[in-house]
Each structure stands twice: as C-alpha cells, then as structure tokens.
Amino acid sequence: MFFRKLSFVGSALLLSGGLAMAADLPEMGYVEQMEPAPLPPAGFYASLHAGYVMPGDVDAEFVFGGTVDGDVDVEDGYRIGGSLGYDFNNMIGVEAEVGFSSIGVDSISAAGTTIQTSGDANVLTLMGNVIIGNHYDRWRPYLGAGVGAAHVALDVSGTALPDDLDDNDWAFAAQAFVGVDYSLTDAVSLGARYRYLHVGSTDYTDDGDDPVSVDSFGNHSVEAVLKVKFGG
C-alpha cells in the first residue's frame, strides 16, 4: 500500500513537471522567411555598354552633274559607351551618356546607278537620359529616353565616285531604350538593353567642294551593360 501511494505521488510530480516544462517552451508555428536586404535606393553610379548596331535605311542628296536623290547601303556595326548618373530612388534616375558607333558604307545608289564604295560612318553621341524602373528582388526592368547631339563623321571613297567624301557635321539626336539589370551584389549589376537612336539630317562637302546632304536616320542596337553604384 505504501509503495502504491509512493508511485502515485511520483507520477503526479512527473506529470506536473512535464506540464511546467511544456509551458516554458516557445510556441512552434510558421516561421516567416527573411527577405533579402534591399538594394541602396539612391546614389551615384557609372555604367559601360557595348553592343551590335543594325542601321536603318539612309537617304541622301548628291551632286552628280546635278542634284540627285540617292540611297546609301550601310553595314551592321558596333557601339560602345558609358554614362555617369544618379538614382533618386528605386524608380527614377538621370544620367549623362557618351556613345560611339561605327558602321560601314557599302554602296551609293543614285540616278539609276549603284556605285560600290568603301569607308565608314562614325557617330559620337552626347546624351542626357531619364530612366524609370523598379526592383523586383535582384531584377530591375527599366525604360529610358534621352536627347542630345550627334557628331557624324563620313569617310567614303569609291573608284566610280566623282570625289571622295571626308567630312563631318553635328545634328540633333534622340533615343529610347528598354532593358533589364540583374544585381550581382548591392553595388554591381549586369544587364541587357535594346536601343533606338535617331540622328537628324546632316550636311557635308566632298573633296570636289560639292554639297552632300544626308537625311535623318535611325539605328537599332542590342547591348550588354555593366553598372557600378557608388552610394549616396
């Protein structure tokens, strides 16, 4: 009888101790996953880009014994450039950009005649851009637009040309682009971009002092972009 009472008391003590320990344990429930640290929302940055240029049609006006309209057949080329900018927040940024593109000039068609040529057209652009985008974790899609000036330098020669053309001119320029960046770190991102650049009409003088006018033209480019943030 004594041992039966002792056993009962011991069981009661164990049960009460277990309940007390259970009360002290933290509640086990759903543990919310931690979000990655947000990227710096604002600050200065620098970027570099390089890519492939696909020019559109180019129309021009020549003097071959008289003023005639013609077409210039150009090749695909390349583009490189860089910018310095400032992100006001995750949504809006502004930047100053310099770019250089080069395309080949294959032939000139005018007055029913096609003349094979060699040479190139080099375009230097100075642009001010506005960029709008947003971060989705490490991804940032964006849209951009800019205006500025383009320096177009032509160096074209051909055995059937009356005179070679080696001259340059400035013109108004505008562009629009769309892209996406992926942040490797809080400061460095890689991305891809499509750009359309419009260059206004330009005027030149060939080696025979005859005028040559080139109508406004546009080109398309696809580019890789490296961006480095410096902080606020």
Lowest mean pLDDT among 77-86, 123-132, 160-169: 160-169
Query: Tell me, what's the pLDDT at 70?
Result: 83
Give the pLDDT of residue 219. Answer: 95
Q: What is the mean pLDDT of residues 25-31?
A: 54
Let me know: does 170 contact 205? Beta carbons within 8 Å.
Answer: no
Question: Which pLDDT tens digit goes with each residue over 47-101?
Answer: 999 999 999 888 888 776 567 888 889 999 999 999 999 999 889 999 999 999 9
Task: Catalogue all structural domains in the chain, each as residue range(s) with its CATH number.
Answer: 43-231 (2.40.160.20)
**Which residues, listed in sequence order, are joined to residue 103 by a DSSP beta bridge?**
121
pTM of the model: 0.80
